[in-house]
Amino acid sequence: MLSCIIPSYKDPSLHKTIQSILDNAEGEVEVIVILDGYWTEIVDDPRVRVLHLGKNRGMRGAINAGVAIARGDILMRTDEHCSFAKGFDKIIEEDLKEDEIMTPTRYELDPNKWERMDLPSINFAKLVIQNVSDTVQKFTAVQWKERDEEMKDVMVAETMGIQGSCWFMKKSWWEKVIVELQTEGYGPLIQDSTEMIFKTWQAGGRMMLNKRTWHAHRHRKFGRFHNNGTSENPSNNDAGYMYAIKVWGDYYEKEIRPKWKI
């Protein structure tokens, strides 16, 4: 069974995201909606479970809470403003290996029309260290056009980074390697994909792109709802970015960049 975990904070697209999963999944699925310190009515469907957190924990804490009650052998985490291809779950189930995190091809979503925008798909991503300011750096995934061309005929292949809006992994891998998303240092909101990818690499696993299926994520021009946390649970993003550099920077420079020849 696939457990679809949706951390949610006041996004009106949540309901359409849930319905897109229910409409397009072809196997056994449960949708776990984590209402992170707020309340809204959720569709009455036996495949949907609602976890209400009385106090806002932030995205990291909400994901941890969802995983803790997941009953499926495969975990999926998605943002609350995404749509999905028909049969996405079956394709991932066929291709996902024990030691992998997997993300599908990403398109841009118009959340008002609830349709894919007429823009190119986003596939391979390179993990780089980017300057945020004179004193702050962060890990970020940028589009990797050279690898797109090199691997244009390969449908499932290793990649370096992901946006983080949709990923899959075996629950057994989470329990063995990820364990939980750490909030100390990172804060409540950011760099979750970075933490998971580095833990996976250290354990001998891989980050994979699957072009056999897709998800569409709300285009950035439509904005975000709590990019810096909430008034109840603010996030010092700069401190979180630098914490990730402190923890993983040397490993990235000495092990990962040489492996990928970047």
Tens-digit pLDDT profile for residues 162-206: 989 999 999 999 999 999 999 999 999 999 999 999 999 999 999
Q: Quote the distance between the C-alpha of residue 161 and its chain's center.
A: 11
- Reported as a single tens digit per residue, the pLDDT across 26-61 is 999 999 999 999 999 999 999 999 999 999 999 999
The H or E element containing residue 68 is helix 59-69
Per-residue tokens: 242: 């630098």
Q: Domain extents for the chain?
A: 2-260
Residue 221's pLDDT band (boundaries 50, 70, 90)? confident
Question: What pLDDT does 244 receive?
Answer: 98
Longest alpha-carbon distance in the chain: 51
CA distance 183 to 211: 32
Q: In percent, how much of the chain has pLDDT > 90? A: 93
Q: Considering the entire predicted model, what is its pTM?
A: 0.96
CB-based burial of residue 98 (10 Å sphere; 0-12 exposed, 13-18 middle, 19+ buried)?
Answer: exposed
The residues facing 77 across adjacent strands are 5, 167
CA distance 167 to 4: 10
| 87: amino acid identity, one letter | G
- Given a cut of 90, whether residue 224 has pLDDT beyond it is no
The domain 2-260: what is its CATH number?
3.90.550.10
